[in-house]
Amino acid sequence: MLKNPKVWVIVIAAIVMGALVKIFTPLSIEAVRASISFAPEQLFAPHIGGYVFSISNTMCTTWIAMLIIVILFFFGTRKMQLIPGGLQNVLEMLIEYLVGLAESVAGHRAMKFFAIASTIFILLLVSNLIALIPGFGPIGVIHLAEGEHAPQGITIIGDAPSIFETKHEPGQEGPILAPFVRAPATDLNLALALALISVVMTQVYGFQAQGARYLTRFFSFGRLLKGNIAFGLIDVFVGIVELISEIMKIVAFTFRLFGNIFAGEIVLLIMAYLFLVLPFPFYGLELFVAVIQAFVFAVLTLAFMTIASAEHEAGAEHH
Amino acid sequence: MDKLGINIPWLLAQLINVILILVLLRVLAYKPVLAMLDKRKKKIAESLEYADKVKADAAAQQKEFERKYEEQQREFNVRLQSSQQVAEQERQRIVADAHEEALKIKESARGELDYERNQMVAELRQQVIELSMLGAQRVIGANLDQQKSRQLVENFLNEVEFGGNGQKPALTKEGAGA
C-alpha cells in the first residue's frame, strides 16, 4: 500500500490541510487566551431535575468518537458476507490484526484479553485521530464574565442559552475559548478510566488464572514463616515492590497517554505561533503519535494481563 | 486533582463511556466479525479438504487408468505373441502339408510314369515278338507253331534282359552295356 503513489498523495494532502488549519487557528483569535489547561473545558452545564450535569469538551469528543465507531461497525457488520467487500473488509482486517496482536502477546489466552485491549485500541485510535481533524479547534464556546465584551476578530454565531453555566471568573486575563472538540486523551479522566479498567481487569484475570495464589505475588510470607529470614525478607520486600508497581501502572498508563497527546496539541499550537509552516512536520508526527499511543496502551494491557495470568513469573513492568 | 481536571463525576462518566463502547463493540464488532472469520476459516478448510480429496481421487483414477492400460497392453502383447505363435505354427503346418502334398504328387507322378513306361515296354515287347515272328515266317515261309515260337522269342528277350518286370530298361545289348 505504501508503494502506491495515490496513497502518499492523500496522506500528504491530509497533513498539509491539517497543518494549514492549525496555523490559522490561533491567528484569528489573538484576542482570546490560548487555551492551554490540563483540565478539560466545560462546554455547558444543563440543569436537569435539580442536578447540574457538567459536560466537558473532551466528553463531547469521546461521544463523537463512540458514535463514529458505532456507525462504522453497525454498517460494516450489518450484512456480513462470506466474501467481504468495502467497509466489511477494512473492519475485518482491523479485527484480524488485533486478534493476531493479542495472540502474539498472550498466546493461548489471547481471546480472553482481546476484547478489552481491542476496545482500548479502537477507542483511542478514533478519538486521537478525530482530534487531529482540521477545523474544530477554533470553533467553541467563549464564556464571558459579567460586563465583559467578546473580543474582536472572532465571529460570534450565537448566544449560549441561559442554561449554560459560565466557568469564567472575573479578574482573569480574558475570556477563554473552549473548543467544542478536544482530544479525549487530553482529559485525565478518560486516561485514568482506561488505566483503571486495564489494571483492575489485570488483577481479575490474575485471580481467575491462579486463584488465591495470585495474592502471594504481593504478600509472600512463605519462606519467612519457615524460618528462612534472609530470603523471607527479600520475598516480603519484592511483594511490596510489586504492590507499588501495580499502583504505579495506573499512574504510568494515565500520564503516558495524557502526556503524549496533550504535548502534541501544545506543540502544534506553539509551532503555529512561531512560524506559519512550522507545524507541517509536527502534524505528521502527531498522526504517528496518535496511532502509536493507542497501540502502546493496548499492547501494554495485553502484556500485563498475560504476565498476571502466567504462573509465578517476574512481574517487572515493561515500558 | 482539581488543577488536573480529575473529578469523580467526569471520571465515572468516562468509565461508563468506556464500558459502554466495550459492550457495543462486543455486540457490533467482535462477535459478528470473529464469527465470520471463523466461518470463513472453516469454509476455506473445507474447500481445501475437498480440493485435496478431489485431487487424491483424480490421482487414484489416473493410477487405476494407468494400471488398466498397462494390463491391457500386457494382455494385448500376450495375445499378439500367442497369435504370432499360432500363425507360425499354422504357417509351418501349411508348409509341411504343402511339402507332403508335393511329395505325394511327385510320387504319384512317378508311379504313373513307371506304369506308362511298363505299359510301353510291354507293348513294345509284344510288337517285337509279333514282328520277329512275322519276320521269321517270311524267312521260313511256313506257319510256325504259334505257341512254340512265341515261347522262343520270349526266352530270347529274357536272355537279353528286355523284360517287362519294371527293371532297368535295356533295350539293346549296347544300351545295357553302356
Q: Which chain B residues are closer than 8 Å to A100 by Cβ?
A: none
| Confidence band, pLDDT 50/70/90 cuts, at residue A83 | confident
Nearest C-alpha neighbor of A309 from the set A112, A39, A80: A112
Beta-carbon separation of A95 and B26 below 8 A: no
What digits encode the pLDDT tens for the residues B96-127? 999 999 999 999 999 998 999 999 988 988 88
pLDDT for the residue numbered B166 = 47
Cα–Cα distance between A304 and A109 in angstroms, integer? 12
Task: Compare all CA atoms of chain A with the CA of B15 and give the residue at the minimum distance.
Answer: A193
pLDDT for the residue numbered A27 = 46
Q: Which chain A residues are closer than 8 Å to B30 by Cβ?
A: 95, 114-115, 118
Closest Cβ opposite residue A77 in set B11, B20, B32: B32
Q: Which chain B residues are closer than 8 Å to A62 by Cβ?
A: 14, 17
Beta-carbon separation of B10 and A59 below 8 A: yes
What digits encode the pLDDT tens for the residues A176-202? 666 777 888 888 899 999 999 999 999
Tally C-beta pairs within 8 A across A and B: 108
Task: Compare all CA atoms of chain A with the CA of B41 and give the residue at the minimum distance.
Answer: A82
| C-alpha to C-alpha distances, B54 to A155, A208, B42, B57, B133, nearest whole angstrom | 73, 47, 18, 5, 114
Residue A43 contacts residue A60 (beta carbons within 8 Å): yes
Shortest CA gap A222–chain B (Å)? 38
Instruction: Give ipTM to 2 decimals.
Output: 0.76
Closest Cβ opposite residue B25 in set A119, A193, A196: A119
| Residue of A60, A73, A79 to mutate for B, most B C-beta atoms under 10 A | A73
Share of chain A above pLDDT 90, in %: 28
What digits encode the pLDDT tens for the residues B36-89? 888 888 999 999 999 999 999 999 999 999 999 999 999 999 999 999 999 999
Average pLDDT over chain A, rounded to an integer: 78
| C-alpha to C-alpha distances, B53 to B44, B46, B56, B135, nearest whole angstrom | 14, 10, 5, 119
Share of chain A above pLDDT 70, in %: 72
Please state the rounded mean pLDDT for residues A198-224.
Answer: 87
pLDDT for the residue numbered A294 = 94
Please state the rounded mean pLDDT for residues B149-168.
Answer: 69
pLDDT for the residue numbered A139 = 64
pLDDT for the residue numbered A141 = 66
Beta-carbon separation of A95 and B9 below 8 A: no
More confidently predicted of B101 and A15:
B101
Checking if the pLDDT of A8 tops 80, the result is no
Checking if the pLDDT of A66 tops 90, the result is yes
What digits encode the pLDDT tens for the residues A90-141? 888 899 999 999 999 988 888 889 999 999 999 999 999 888 876 666 666 6
| C-alpha to C-alpha distances, B132 to A94, B127, B149, nearest whole angstrom | 145, 8, 10
Query: Collapsing DSSP states into helix, strand and coil, what is residue A268?
Result: helix
What digits encode the pLDDT tens for the residues A257-268? 999 998 888 888
Query: Collapsing DSSP states into helix, strand and coil, what is residue A67?
Result: helix
Closest Cβ opposite residue A123 in set B21, B35, B43: B21
Residue B168 contacts residue B118 (beta carbons within 8 Å): no
**Through-space distance between the first and last CA atoms of chain A, rounded to whole angstroms:** 30
Checking if the pLDDT of A62 tops 60, the result is yes
* Phi, psi angles (nearest 5°) of residue B160: -90, 15
Average pLDDT over chain B, rounded to an integer: 84
Amino acid at A92: E
| Confidence band, pLDDT 50/70/90 cuts, at residue A162 | very low
- Residues of chain A with a CB closer than 8 angstroms to some CB in chain B: 37-40, 54, 56, 59, 62-63, 66, 69-70, 73-74, 77, 80, 82, 84, 91-92, 95-96, 99, 114-116, 118-119, 122-123, 187-190, 192-194, 196-197
Cα–Cα distance between A266 and A273 in angstroms, integer? 11
Residue A313 contacts residue A242 (beta carbons within 8 Å): no
Cα–Cα distance between A289 and A266 in angstroms, integer? 13
Grid cell of A198 as nine digits: 486495564
Shortest CA gap A128–chain B (Å)? 15
Q: A179 - beta bridge partners? A: A140
